[in-house]
Amino acid sequence: MAELAPPTGAPANVVVLLLDSLNRHMVGAYGSTEFDTPNLDRLAARSLRFQHHFAGSLPCMPARHDILCGALDFLWRPWGSIELWEEPVTVPLRAAGVVTKLVTDHPHLFEVGGENYHTDFTGWDYERGHESDPWRTRPDPSWVGAPSFGRPSMPYETSRGWFRGEDDFPGPRTMAAAARWLEEEAPDDAPFFLFVDEFDPHEPFDTPEPFASMYDPEWEGPHLIWPPYAKAVLERGVLTPEQARQIRANYGAKLTMIDAWLGRVLDVLDRRGLWESTAVVLCTDHGHYLGERDIWGKPGVPLYEPMVHIPLFVAWPGQEPRDVNALTTSVDLHATILDVFGSAAEHRTHGTSLVPLIDGGATDVRDHVLAGVWGREVHLVTKDRKYCRAPSGANEPLSVWSNRWSTMPVVGYPQLKMP
């Protein structure tokens, strides 16, 4: 296992806070006034604020593979596990004596196609009940106010029947668990890496009051919590303007709710004085269209700014808050984490450490980034240009489905026939 000397003045610990589907253009620190994000802004006020940070592989699981393994996932598959022959960042960190912890409510990490993302952490917590997680087999029969009875058609509808108050929702429980770990378990005698993989503000955009009515108080019908995944949504009448406003408002409600619970994590960092020894990274996997260009969700379209231009804050001991104008991307987080702990990857990666940008040793670390979704357009992005190249139809079929998500290449298994 390759080990290097940590950079001079490197922090002892790293905390990565990933908020899924966090729209950069809806965060106050990036100039938005649409929704309230006081704790994101609080973190940004003490951080390096990256102005040209872009997603690499999309959507959810490919983006996490970029961060944890450092190689662009979309270049070779659509969605899948960390393979047995791959080495996630946690392996060299544990070899270097770093305590690694995962706290998450992300259901795809525990489904077919999401194997091995959690297994190499020293410890992990999974807060149940988000989106597709088959947590409960029936709604809570003791709660008269349960939103649904009988046999709901979706896992979330069943889980939702067990949420009584705000602190029962998966997002708040995840942030509370992360705060509790920092307060009670984070070691004083060893370096640590905490990865908080928070699925909010990903849909369903379901929140309790006072958040549910915060941004669309005149809406009288049931709250619309599931956005369509489509383009030309208003043009084709998929949503009315009022329904579109309601869904966007409910995204904002979830963003503001998880922002409030993020504040609890920041409070522990304050109380324990961890800012002096800990790098705190706030990132996301990608954005989420909420009506921009009349696109909703994450349909198969080129990656416009709301989807691929994403937020990144890095609070770093000894560094004054400032804007960073260098071009960066998600795989660079993998290289940065390894660099902090004086470790190196044993396999080929695409990332570049951001430490030289952070400590002032460099003004740029790359001149372009690659971004894309498997089988669709490849985007080459610079600070002021984006080149988009569509796939060739002659390349199909590139792969066959071998299970729910993962694929096997046709060229490697010529005896397999496409269905």
Task: Please name every residue paired with 279 in a beta bridge, in sequence order, or none if there are none.
Answer: 14
pLDDT for 149 equals 45
Who's near 333: CB < 8 A, 6+ residues apart?
16, 66, 67, 281, 283, 351, 354
Q: Which helix (H) or strand (E) holds 254?
A: helix 241-271
Cα–Cα distance measured from residue 12 to residue 299, given in angstroms and rounded to the nearest whole number: 41
φ, ψ at 389 (rounded to 5°):
-120, 120
- The answer to whether residue 29 scores a pLDDT higher than 80 is yes
Q: Are strands 278-283 and 13-19 parallel, antiparallel or unpaired?
A: parallel
At residue 142, the pLDDT reads 76
CA dist 226 and 392 (Å) reads 33
pLDDT tens digits for range 45-100: 999 999 999 999 999 999 999 999 999 999 988 888 999 999 999 999 999 999 99
Closest to 356 (Cα-Cα) out of 383, 379, 328, 394: 328
Q: How far apart are CA 29 and CA 49, in angstroms?
A: 9
Average pLDDT across the chain, whole number: 92
Full set of structural domains in the chain with CATH? 13-392 (3.40.720.10)
The string of pLDDT tens digits covering residues 296-355 is: 999 989 999 999 999 999 999 999 999 999 999 999 999 999 999 999 998 889 999 999
For 6-18, the pLDDT digits (tens) are 666 789 999 999 9
Cα–Cα distance for residue pair 33/28, rounded to 1 Å: 6
pLDDT at 398 over 80: no
pTM beyond 0.85, yes or no: yes
pLDDT in tens, 402-412: 555 555 555 55
- First and final C-alpha spacing in the chain: 43
Q: Supply angle C-alpha 53, 299, 253, rounded to 5.
A: 70
Give the helix, strand, coil percentages of the chain, each rounded to 5.
Answer: 30, 20, 55
**Sign of torsion over alpha carbons 148, 151, 157, 163:** positive
pLDDT tens digits, one per residue of 258-311: 999 999 999 999 999 999 999 999 999 999 999 999 999 999 899 999 999 999
